[in-house]
Structure 1
Amino acid sequence: MAIRKKITVSTIKNMKIEDERINDTELAGFHGRISSKGVIKYYFYYRLQGKQRNYLLGSSDALTPVQARDLAKEVAGRVAGGSDVQSIKKETQRQGKRANLKLWTYLDRTYYPYLESLNPKTADRALKALKSNFVELLDRNLADITPWDLQKWVAEKRKAKRAPATIRYALGRLKAAFNRAVEWGFIDGHDLGKVKVPSVDNTIVRYLSNDEESALLDGIRLRDHRIRDERASANVFRKQRNYPLYPSFDGLRFVDYFEPLIITAMNTGLRRGELLALTWDDVFFDERYLVVRAANAKSKRARNVPLNDTVFDALKQWRSQNSKTSVVFITSKYDADTAVTDIKKPWKKLLTDANIHDFRFHDLRHHFASRLVMVGVDLNTVRELLGHADMKMTLRYAHLAPEHKAAAVNMIG
């Protein structure tokens, strides 16, 4: 129930919850509201171009009735001059929030939920990469991060011997986050495109020589023997003391996920993320192919990759060892839905034992493509197997097939 009285110290003091609202008799539009908890706030009501507005002046614990009326008169004057004071106030508040939006706050509360909606499997990794790469900028306001800040970051990473591709990749992730911030109105724009980044020579392809391939496969077998010997030795120790024995590797081809993972990478050309995301529902043994789901592919396009005898036999035996699991490459058969996430330690040791240098896990993909080209597979088929969106990336393997060029020239001889 609204009452009409001049708003004074006395009328405000005597206002009851059931009064709900008091309209000032001296200034049209000036009124006070009381909440169910007894809190009184002053407002100024006005119309602008037929639209109703209710402008909050402040609460009774911060403003006296006289101060509230004076403020209402000032607002009334601005309204009379054609200003939409309510919209101006909201925009000012929004600008204030934008000016104080920290990078870490934006990443955690806004950008991460967006990433999660796109791909829950990679969102955590993407957020972790952003925060670890740009830790010195996390407490900076989003709008205050400049190209110069990032140019200094690039210089520091170059000094620390970071690979150009790593620097470009990290900076690309940050630019993507800033692009979304512009779209969503958190910042008006950014100039991060002005940051000069080191160029990457994508034409250089690292693949294994025949000797290196043999050394790599021998290294995997040596690792297998070492793990088997350690398990047998541990069980002898435990048996002597009547401790429960660890599961035996007798009769099993693989001691863990690592060997089938390497074999699959070398014979399918799948990316690391595509490999680790594989489930047994993606492997079709009867038809002898596997599927890279669109959600797990870099190009966001699904593709089928045939299984040659080597990878078919490896996956078939690995499946027989893990008949109740859902994920292909798991750390333990007792956890059927937890995929391997980190292979750095065994991969690094394998390269050391095999005496192979300057070779990344991703280069197994190049090795797969290079072998195909060198035995005469056409580049378009290689492109389809690798899942490249266009031929540009696949063309870097073209120099491995000089006989094709010679054959083309001889056709007009």
Structure 2
Amino acid sequence: MQGVLGAPLIKSLKPSDKPYEVRDTRLKGLLLRVQPSGAMTYYVEYARGKRISLGRADVITPQDAREQAKGILGDAFKGKDPNGAARQAKEHSFGSFIDEEYSGWAKANVRTHKGTLRRLNQSFADFRKLKLSEITPLLVERWRSDRLKAGTKPSTVNRDLDDLKSSLGKAQQWGFIEVHPIEKVKRTRVDDRATVRFLTEDERTRLYEALDAREERVRAARDRANAWRAEREYPLMLDLRTVAYADHLKPMVLLSLHTGMRYGELANLTWDDLHLDRAILTVHGFKAKSQKTRHIPLNSAALALLENWQKQRTSDSLLVFPSRDGGPFDNVRSSWEEVLKAAKITKFRWHDMRHTFASLLVMKGVDLNTVRELLGHSDYQMTLRYAHLAPEHKAAAVAKLVADPNGDSGNAANS
């Protein structure tokens, strides 16, 4: 797309599903990149495949961008390194780089950009005033040490470090720094096979009982509300005694336990993702942590609950579990914690239902590779954390040391 980059054109531009560029017809090399988030950034392309960011359209004017571009193109024509000149002219602080450069890119390209940007700004608040070149391995190691001493989990520290390294990698790629300052800083060692938390049989029973008790409380409250309305001849609300579920919580919990879906996948599940006639649920790659699509077979319990939930569907939202405003639930913490308290279940997160799903499969003899495929793990190491729950395989292995086919057992142990 081409046009005169000025206020009228810029105001008329609308975001699309994919990033697109508008090239200035007055100055060859000047362009405006429009992200799906609506963020717009000026760039100057001074050679084939080489460009420099000039700033966001909501920060600098088209005329400012054009003047900067002229200077950079002039340097390139004279044989000077425009990237080097740009670095000297503006060396970002970590904070300005995140705000002016990285955030727009993350919103358009990182599925979990909200959490990523929040962690970068909160976990590295002390870094924001530093120049990008002032962030050193020693500084990061001191930051890590302080976090661990304060009781932060190593896995959390690793996640924050990954975000920092990724953002600085982009700063290098885009020409704001010559080298990645902390590329060789390694993650904190974590026991990836630590014992996972999953529900015991007794805890599952108590959880189901607590969910049923909550369902009854919600139905009883609706009965009282309708009785009050009837006395005043007001329109009655849906009679919850006529439907399978009082609200969203129980079917969300049950579906989590029977599919192993992550909360984000569950919250963004749509009716188009369900193929009830074939008993298949699809988690599309753009909704999955691994970015890869997977198909989860629905067992009879999961299929029945979805069929019943579909029958009582009243919202026009495509989401299977819409909030009151039709969007996805950000969280169900209050009602979930209420049920856990009633069930006397402690130290158990929503994500642990995913662990419960996997753990029960392994204990029932399902092989780890099948479990990996159902969970959508891209790394087999993640699935190995459940291996200890299949002791019969290890027992069979060590039993071979004493099980001699000729009837001579025990010699291996005695030798």
Superposition TM-score, scaled by structure 1 size: 0.70
CA contact (8 A) 1:293 1:301 kept: yes
- Cα distance in 2 for partners of 1:393, 1:230 equals 44
Give the counterpart of 2:135 among 140, 145, 153.
Answer: 145
Q: 1:57-72 residue pairs with structure 2 within 5 A?
A: none
Residue of 336, 354, 364 corresponding to 2:353: 364
Within the candidate set 299, 315, 327, 1:308 is matched to: 299
Cα distance, 1:370 vs. partner?
0.8
Q: Partner of 1:330 in structure 2?
A: 322
Contact 1:112 1:127 in 2 (8 A): yes
1:317 to 305, 308, 314: 308
Report the AA paired with residue 400 of structure 1: L
8 Å contact from structure 1 (residues 148, 195) kept in 2: no
Deviations 1:35-56 (A, max 9, x none): xxxxxxxxxxxxxxxxxxxxxx
Which AA in structure 1 matches 2:320?
A: V
AA partner of residue 126 (structure 1): T
Structure 1 residues 388-407: aligned runs within 5 Å: 388-407=377-396
In structure 1, C-alpha distance between the alignment counterparts of 2:145 and 2:132, rounded to whole Å = 21
The answer (yes or no) to whether the contact 1:164–1:198 under 8 Å persists in 2 is yes
Aligned pair in 2 of structure 1 residues 171, 91: CA closer, same or farther (>3 Å)? closer
The residue type equivalent to 2:268 in the other structure is A
Which residue number corresponds to residue 350 of structure 1? 339
> Match for residue 374 of structure 2?
385
- Asked if the contact 1:151–1:196 (Cα under 8 Å) also holds between the matched residues in 2, the reply is no
Over alpha carbons, which structure has the higher Rg?
1
Letter in 1 for 2:87: Q
Contact (CA 8 Å) 1:283, 1:289: kept in 2 or not? yes
What's the CA shift string for 1:58-85, capped at 9, x where partnerless? xxxxxxxxxxxxxxxxxxxxxxxxx989
Aligned AA (1:349): E
Task: Give, as a single letter, the amino acid of the residue that structure 1 aligns with 2:280.
Answer: Y
Aligned to 1:38: none
Q: How does 1:200-349 map to 2 (within 5 A)?
A: 200-203=190-193, 204-237=195-228, 246-322=237-313, 324-332=316-324, 335=326, 338-349=327-338
Distance of 1:159 and 1:233 partners within structure 2: 53
TM-aligned CA deviation for residue 373 of structure 1: 0.9
Relative to structure 1, the CA distance from residue 243 to residue 380 in structure 2 (aligned partners, 3 Å threshold; closer, same or farther) is same
For residues 367 and 162 of structure 1, the distance between their equivalents in structure 2, rounded to whole angstroms, comes to: 25
Paired AA for residue 307 in structure 1: L
Deviations 1:175-219 (A, max 9, x none): 111112111111222343555754322212211111111122222
Q: Percent identity?
A: 37
1:153 is displaced (CA, Å) by 3.3
Q: Which moved more, 1:278-287 or 1:152-161?
A: 152-161
State the 1:110 CA deviation: 2.5
Q: Which residue is 1:166 aligned to?
A: 156
Cα distance, 1:129 vs structure 2: 3.5
Check whether the contact 2:135–2:181 (CA below 8 A) recurs between aligned residues.
no
Residues 309-354 of structure 1, C-alpha deviations (whole Å, 9 max, x = no match): 111111111122226431122113x62xx11222333333332222
Q: Return the offset for 1:132.
A: 3.2
Residue 287 to residue 91, structure 1, CA distance change in 2 (3 Å): closer
Residue pair 1:182, 1:188 contacting (<8 A) in 2 also:
yes
> Offset of 1:369 from its aligned partner?
0.9
2:83–2:175: 8 Å Cα contact kept in structure 1? no
Looking at structure 2, the residues matched to 234 and 87 of structure 1 have their Cα atoms a distance apart, in angstroms, of 79
Residue 274 of structure 1: how far off its partner (Å): 2.0
Q: Aligned-residue CA RMSD in angstroms?
A: 2.9
CA spacing shift, 1:384–1:87, aligned 2, 3 Å: same
- Does 2:181 match 1:178? no
SS in 2 for 1:250: helix
Instruction: Say if 2:130 is the partner of 1:105.
Output: no
CA separation of 1:89/1:282 partners in 2, compared to 1, >3 Å: closer, same or farther? closer
Evaluate the alpha carbon distance shift between residue 322 and residue 103 of structure 1 in structure 2; reply closer, same or farther with a 3 A threshold. Answer: farther
Alpha-carbon distance between aligned partners in 2 of 1:134 and 1:232, rounded to the nearest angstrom: 51
Q: Evaluate the alpha carbon distance shift between residue 388 and residue 241 of structure 1 in structure 2; reply closer, same or farther with a 3 A threshold.
A: same
Pair 1:135–1:219, CA change in 2 (3 A):
farther
Q: Is the CA contact 1:202–1:396 (under 8 Å) kept in the aligned structure 2?
A: yes
2 CA distance for matches of 1:93 and 1:346?
56
Q: Displacement, 1:398? A: 1.5
Q: CA deviation at 1:286?
A: 0.8
Distance (whole Å) between structure 2 residues aligned to residue 113 and residue 86 of structure 1: 32
Counterpart-to-counterpart distance in 2, 1:240 and 1:96: 77
TM-score scaled to structure 2, two decimals? 0.70
Measure the CA separation in 2 of the matches of 1:186 and 1:91. 8
State the alpha-carbon separation in 1 of the partners of residues 76 and 97 from structure 2: 30
